[in-house]
Amino acid sequence: MEGKKTREEVEKSGMIDTWMRKHRLIYTGATKHPFILSIRDGTVDLEAFKTWLGQDYIFVRAFAPFVASVLIKAWKESDDSSDMEVILSGMASLNDEIAWFKSETAKWGVQLSEVVPQKANQDYCRFLESLMSPDVEYTVAITAFWAIEAVYQASFALCLEDGSKTPAELRETCQRWGNDGFGQYCNSLQKIANRRLGKTPDDVLTKAEVTLLRVLEHEVEFWNMSHGAA
Closest of 60, 3, 20, 35 to residue 209, by C-alpha? 20
Other beta carbons within 10 angstroms of residue 165's beta carbon come to 11
Q: Out of 11, 104, 219, 221, which one is annotated catalytic?
A: 219
Q: Is 221 a catalytic residue?
A: no
The whole-angstrom distance between residue 26's C-alpha and the CA centroid of its chain comes to 14
Taken in order 198, 202, 208, 209, the sign of the CA dihedral is positive
Rounded Cα distance between 79 and 222, Å, is 34
In this structure, are residues 153 and 177 in contact, taking their beta carbons and an 8 Å threshold?
yes
CA angle 70, 75, 78 (to 5 degrees): 90
Which residues are known catalytic residues?
219
